[in-house]
């Protein structure tokens, strides 16, 4: 399962109403660290297929969802379980670190 692009309009349906935990990556095209973790998130989405869904929200195109979540800097990652935030972290990190954080949260 590759990462899924989510918009302000689809945020609730894709994230808050998901049957499985969801990792939300708030990112932007111009953000170097965001591009750095992108491939790792794609790989993790395959490795944890069925256990977690990883979605990406472009903050430039979709300002409402990050504003509701209080995102001040990107990349910003949030783990949702049963529609609620259970963990979040900001900034880039190595793939193993991100995967470990996700597995610890779900």
* 61-89 per-position pLDDT tens digit: 999 999 999 999 999 999 999 999 999 99
Nearest to 57 by CA among 76, 85, 37, 42: 76
CA atoms within 13 A on the CB side of 65: 27
Catalytic residue chosen out of the listed positions 6, 31, 79, 92: 31
pLDDT digits (tens, 9 = 90+) for 6-18: 999 999 999 999 9
Distance CA 42, CA 49 (A): 11
Is 34 an active-site residue? Answer: yes
Q: Quote the pTM value.
A: 0.97
Q: Establish whether 49 is a catalytic residue.
A: no
Which of 34, 69, 77, 98 is an active site residue?
34
């Amino acid at each position: 399962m590759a990462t899924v692009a989510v918009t302000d309009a689809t945020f609730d349906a894709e994230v808050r109403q998901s049957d499985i935990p969801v990792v939300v990556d708030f990112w932007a095209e111009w953000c170097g660290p965001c591009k750095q973790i992108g491939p790792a998130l794609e790989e993790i989405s395959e490795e944890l297929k069925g256990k977690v869904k990883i979605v990406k929200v472009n903050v430039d195109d979709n300002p409402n969802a990050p504003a509701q979540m209080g995102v001040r800097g990107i990349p910003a990652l949030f783990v949702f379980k049963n529609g609620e935030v259970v963990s979040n972290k900001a900034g880039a990190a190595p793939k193993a670190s991100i995967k470990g954080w996700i597995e610890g949260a779900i």
